[in-house]
Structure 1
């Protein structure tokens, strides 16, 4: 820092000017240091991908798609065929679970279906190790 004193001896006021150049230099050096030390954002997602070739298909017949519909009254339909009771649904699920390549089950509950009916079907499928099941919704009013 420096101080500039006026040269006029008759002037009683002292003029103090702060030299800003060193302050600006220090600020620029600090700014550059902060920019250098900021870590580069890494948005990578680690995914464990399978290695090698996929196993050969044992069955030439591809898995079927099953439409499992539940209406507003809780009645269950397997490919538009009504199912009498829970034991009949369990027998159909047993048939699917015994296949090496399970059929894909598309569960389509009605908008007014009670949750307990959908939960019963999902719990039964989980208990019988059905792995290819999905819920298809219809969001139109």
Structure 2
């Protein structure tokens, strides 16, 4: 036997071979773990907002047009307002008998934090109709 027998031999030398199977198993498991987790180490998420071909949104008297520029300024139907003023207007609109639809336009470089604050303020005011407005794609020549 490779490990020795039950009888005592005076000539039996200690085993000098290293069993490599457990070491290889551990290395293969570590390799699989690193292969799976390596794509998760990237910190930057590239996010390109879509350009879609959709019918233009209809404007009604109950439509609120909110726009956000690159600097995070909020425009209510074309007029600059602060976040607190917007929350107050949302509260007034939420109390109305017929709730308005909010159409949100955001510049490509707008921080998501500002958009999340607007969505949260609308939800707190009880406004449920929120739509995102995108730019139409550029026309393709020859089509």
TM-score (norm 2): 0.51
Distance across 1 between alignment mates of 2:137 and 2:79: 25
1:114 aligned partner? 111
2:91 aligned partner? 94
Higher relative contact order (CA 8 A, sep 6+): 2
1:69 aligned partner? 67
- Shift in Å, 1:140: 4.5
Paired residues, number: 79
SS in 1 for 2:65: strand
- Shift in Å, 1:132: 1.4
2:76 aligned partner? 78
User: Which residues of structure 2 form unaligned runs of 5+?
Assistant: 1-59, 139-143
Contact 1:63 1:102 in 2 (8 A): no
Bigger Cα Rg: 1
Q: CA RMSD in A?
A: 1.7
1:130 aligned partner? 127
Contact 2:74 2:83 in 1 (8 A): no
- Shift in Å, 1:126: 0.9
SS in 2 for 1:82: strand
TM-score (norm 1): 0.52
The CA deviation string for residues 35-78 of structure 1, in whole angstroms up to 9 with x for no partner, is: xxxxxxxxxxxxxxxxxxxxxxxxxxx75211100001000000
- Shift in Å, 1:135: 1.2
User: Which residues of structure 1 form unaligned runs of 5+?
Assistant: 1-61
The CA deviation string for residues 51-107 of structure 1, in whole angstroms up to 9 with x for no partner, is: xxxxxxxxxxx7521110000100000000000x22101111011100111111101
Distance across 2 between alignment mates of 1:70 and 1:90: 15
